[in-house]
Amino acid sequence: MKVLLKDVIIFPRHTPLHTDILIENGIITRIEKSINASTDEVIQHKNMHVSIGWMDCFANFADPGNEYKETLESGSNAAAAGGYTEVILIPNTNPPVHNKSQVEYIVQKSKSLPVKIHPLGSITKNTEGRQLSEIYDMQNSGAIAFSDGIECLQSSGLLLKALEYIKAFDGIIIQLPDDKTIASNGLMNEGITSLQSGLQGRPGISEEIIIARDIELLKYTGSKIHFTGISTKKSLNLISNAKKEGLKISCSVTPYHLYFIDEDIKDYNTNLKVNPPLRTKEDMLALREGIKNGLIDFIASHHQPQHWDDKTCEFEYAGNGMIGLESIFGVAGICGIDSADFIKMQTKNIRNIFNLELPQIKQGAKANLTLFDPDHEYIFNEKHIYSKSNNCPYIGKRLKGKTFGIINGDQLFLSELFS
- Please list, in sequence order, all residues whose beta carbon lies within 8 angstroms of the beta carbon of residue 364, skipping any fewer than 6 positions away: 27, 28, 29
Please report whether residue 390 resides in a domain: no
Please report whether residue 393 resides in a domain: no
Enter the DSSP assignment of 395.
T
| Burial (CB count <10 Å: 0-12, 13-18, 19+), residue 382 | exposed
Length of the chain (residues): 419
pTM reported for the whole predicted model:
0.97
Same structural domain for residues 378 and 230? no
Enter the DSSP assignment of 122.
P
Per-residue pLDDT of the chain (419 residues; tens, 9 = 90+): 999 999 999 998 766 688 999 999 999 999 999 999 999 999 999 999 999 999 999 999 999 999 999 999 999 999 999 999 999 999 999 999 999 999 999 999 999 999 999 999 999 999 999 999 999 999 999 999 999 999 999 999 999 999 999 999 999 999 999 999 999 999 999 999 999 999 999 999 999 999 999 999 999 999 999 999 999 999 999 999 999 999 999 999 999 999 999 999 989 999 999 999 999 999 999 999 999 999 999 999 999 999 999 999 999 999 999 999 999 999 999 999 999 999 999 999 999 999 999 999 999 999 999 999 999 999 999 999 999 999 999 999 999 999 999 999 999 999 876 54
Please report whether residue 67 resides in a domain: yes
Taking CA 118 as the corner, what is the angle to CA 339 and CA 176, rounded to the nearest 5 degrees? 75
Same structural domain for residues 204 and 281? yes
The CATH number of residue 12's host domain is 2.30.40.10
End-to-end CA distance of the chain: 18
Asked if residue 114 lies in contact with residue 413, where contact means CB atoms within 8 angstroms, the answer is: yes
Asked if residue 225 lies in contact with residue 172, where contact means CB atoms within 8 angstroms, the answer is: yes
Q: Which of 42, 275, 80 is nearest to 179 (CA)?
A: 275
Q: Which residue range forms the structural domain that includes residue 23?
A: 2-49+362-382+398-414
The CATH number of residue 325's host domain is 3.20.20.140
Q: What is the C-alpha to C-alpha distance for residues 370 and 365, in angstroms, rounded to an integer?
A: 15
Parallel, antiparallel, or unpaired: how do β-strands 145-146 and 116-121 relate?
parallel
Same structural domain for residues 228 and 274? yes
3-state secondary structure string across 319-366: CCCECCCCCHHHHHHHCCCCHHHHHHHHHHHHHHHCCCCCCCCCCCCE
- For 374, other C-beta atoms within 10 Å of its C-beta total 21
When divided into structural domains, the chain yields a total of 2
Q: What is the C-alpha to C-alpha distance for residues 148 and 96, in angstroms, rounded to an integer?
A: 9
Same structural domain for residues 34 and 65? no
